[in-house]
A and B are shown apart, each in its own frame.
Chain A
Amino acid sequence: MQFDKRYGARFAARDISLSIAPGECVALIGHNGSGKTTLLKAAALLIRPSAGRVQFSNVGANGAGENSLAIKRYIGFVSHSTLLYDELTAEENLVLFARLYGLDSAEECARAALDPAGLASRGNDLVRNFSRGMRQRLTIARALIAAPKLLLLDEPSTGLDRAGHQWLGAALASVAATGCTVMMSTHGASEVNAIVTRAVRLLSGSIVEDSASSGSPRAMLAAALAAHQEA
């Protein structure tokens, strides 16, 4: 993808030119406000670029129209907000999104998705009553329910405890094993980064370092972790 994105007179992301191959697992590193979220949202076709375009397999998309809908079907997004309806049960949430993504027999897909998240017994409880860890697991289940080919995660390990981190790492490993392309923003925490194949560093909205052209992902991640722990 290659695009600019401006907010008013300010560029939240500038001159971003990034090509990602299928199956890659890209980590986005950078301080808050460096444009990682913007990049992820643009990839999810949530934000309309001010200049340039986002392309998938050479099919351009700008967030509206036939192409976009077909592409969105295969994108999963995890944010630090839960993106879940508190007033609905876990199962109802999953059924809703399964239907919106065009899956047949949505109820069965939903029930099947609860199991790997360890929520099979809590299917009929309102999300409002879930703990942070449970919500995060449900959020990921929601993102994966339609078998996405591109999974985007915006700081997924925020607020998770140690056990949560481990669970997240395992979940991402199994996702990556299926050949899904992953792009996530991270501060360098170790468990979730086992699957990373490439790292890209952003500063003030532009890409300043890309492990594909120089350096190793591990080194960049370690540096990022160190920087983050200092801060």
Chain B
Amino acid sequence: MATVANPIEVKKQGRQAFATLGVALLLAVAGYCALFVAPTERTMGLIQRIFYFHVPFGWTAFVAFFISFVASIAYLRSRAPKWDWLAVSAAEVGVPFVTVMLVTGPIWAHPVWGIWWTWDARLTSTFVLWVLYVCYLLLRSLIDEPERRAVVSAVFGIFAAFDIPLVYFSIWFFRTQHPQPVIGAGGSLDPRMLDVLLLCWGATLALAALLLPQRYRLEALRYEVERLRWESDRRGGAATFSEAKK
């Protein structure tokens, strides 16, 4: 069989490579800025620069989870599988991003305060957020039937999304009653720091935007394979099945 390269495929792959390169470049620039361009913070020194990734990864995760939430609602209303694909893709992209945020937290905290973890409001709430979406993915893995999986996880996703603001508020208010050291305490932000922060956020968003369609396409392909497999099983078994009835 002649292996002729499909021109459309080649173009798609070319665009994909270009996009990946672009995002890598953006991340490199952001990293450079975070490390060298941003002014050194007064009290914490070098380690504070983790802040430029700790926070943007968190924000991007929020964006991803919001997309998942909207997709869940859209799925329940329309029952079109593509919304389910989007919901799971967004959640799967969000979870690693939150993980990065949770991991960089202690890495930042240890040199500064000598402790790995404090039950400070933001970190604890983010931890609950992480658990909720890991549960979302776990739930999906435990239901085999695709439509049930989509419906059930969509409902769970909606519950989780509405819970998030309550979690953040409750833990925050609890902490005002029982204070503990806070990681990354506020204080005003030097405008140059803000610029670098936004640049890093842009970079992480770009990374997420690169990963999300990949995952989405994977889900769509799985669906298609499933469908084709079932079709071929059926064709094999149906003797009197009329071809015209398609």
Which residues of A come within 8 Å of B, CB atoms? 6-11, 14-15, 48, 50, 203-206, 208-209
Q: Which of A9, A10, A15, A203 contacts B238 (CB 8 A)?
A: A203
Q: State the Cβ distance, B176 to closest chain A Cβ, in Å.
A: 45
B146–A206 CB distance below 8 A: no
Instruction: Tell me whether B237 is interfacial, beta carbon within 8 Å.
Output: yes
Instruction: Tell me whether B41 is interfacial, beta carbon within 8 Å.
Output: no
Find chain A residues with CB under 8 A from B227 CB.
Answer: 9-10
A11–B241 CB distance below 8 A: no
Instruction: Tell me whether B190 is interfacial, beta carbon within 8 Å.
Output: no
Q: State the Cβ distance, A12 to closest chain B Cβ, in Å.
A: 10
**Nearest 3 pairs between A and B by C-beta?**
A8-B146, A9-B227, A9-B226
B79–A50 CB distance below 8 A: yes
Instruction: Tell me whether B224 is interfacial, beta carbon within 8 Å.
Output: yes
Find chain A residues with CB under 8 A from B240 CB.
Answer: 203, 208-209
A10–B230 CB distance below 8 A: yes
- Chosen A-B contacts, 26 in total, with CB atoms closer than 8 Å, are A6-B147, A7-B145, A7-B146, A7-B147, A8-B145, A8-B146, A8-B147, A9-B146, A9-B224, A9-B227, A9-B230, A10-B226, A10-B227, A10-B230, A11-B230, A14-B245, A15-B245, A48-B79, A50-B79, A203-B238, A203-B241, A204-B241, A205-B234, A208-B240, A208-B241, A209-B240
Q: State the Cβ distance, B188 to closest chain A Cβ, in Å.
A: 53
Find chain B residues with CB under 8 A from A206 CB.
Answer: 238, 241, 245
Given known contacts A50-B79, A204-B234, A8 and B241 CB-to-CB distance under 8 angstroms: no
Find chain B residues with CB under 8 A from A15 CB.
Answer: 245
Using an 8 Å CB-CB cutoff, how does the interface string of B211-246 with A read, 1 for contact, 0 for none?
000000000000110110010001001101100010
Find chain B residues with CB under 8 A from A9 CB.
Answer: 146, 223-224, 226-227, 230
Find chain A residues with CB under 8 A from B237 CB.
Answer: 203-204
CA distance A50 to B80 in the complex (A): 9
Q: State the Cβ distance, A49 to closest chain B Cβ, in Å.
A: 10
Q: State the Cβ distance, B240 to closest chain A Cβ, in Å.
A: 5
Chain A: which residue is nearest B224 at the CB level? A9
CA distance A6 to B28 in the complex (A): 47
Find chain B residues with CB under 8 A from A209 CB.
Answer: 240
Find chain B residues with CB under 8 A from A10 CB.
Answer: 226-227, 230
Q: Which residues from 145 to 159 on chain B have a C-beta closer than 8 Å to any C-beta of chain A?
A: 145-147
Chain B: which residue is nearest A8 at the CB level? B146
CA distance A204 to B240 in the complex (A): 11
Chain A: which residue is nearest B146 at the CB level? A8
Q: State the Cβ distance, A221 to closest chain B Cβ, in Å.
A: 18
CA distance A8 to B79 in the complex (A): 11
Find chain A residues with CB under 8 A from B234 CB.
Answer: 204-205
CA distance A6 to B234 in the complex (A): 14
CA distance A201 to B146 in the complex (A): 28
CA distance A9 to B227 in the complex (A): 5
A8–B245 CB distance below 8 A: no
Find chain A residues with CB under 8 A from B223 CB.
Answer: 8-9
Find chain B residues with CB under 8 A from A14 CB.
Answer: 245
Chain A: which residue is nearest B230 at the CB level? A10
Find chain B residues with CB under 8 A from A50 CB.
Answer: 79
CA distance A42 to B240 in the complex (A): 24
Find chain A residues with CB under 8 A from B245 CB.
Answer: 14-15, 206
Q: State the Cβ distance, A200 to closest chain B Cβ, in Å.
A: 14
CA distance A82 to B169 in the complex (A): 48
CA distance A203 to B239 in the complex (A): 9
Q: State the Cβ distance, B219 to closest chain A Cβ, in Å.
A: 11
CA distance A7 to B106 in the complex (A): 46
A8–B226 CB distance below 8 A: yes
Find chain A residues with CB under 8 A from B230 CB.
Answer: 9-11
Chain A: which residue is nearest B238 at the CB level? A204
Find chain B residues with CB under 8 A from A7 CB.
Answer: 145-147
Q: State the Cβ distance, A140 to closest chain B Cβ, in Å.
A: 30
Chain B: which residue is nearest A14 at the CB level? B245
Chain A: which residue is nearest B239 at the CB level? A203
CA distance A48 to B240 in the complex (A): 28
Q: State the Cβ distance, A6 to closest chain B Cβ, in Å.
A: 8
Chain B: which residue is nearest A207 at the CB level? B245
Q: State the Cβ distance, B148 to closest chain A Cβ, in Å.
A: 9
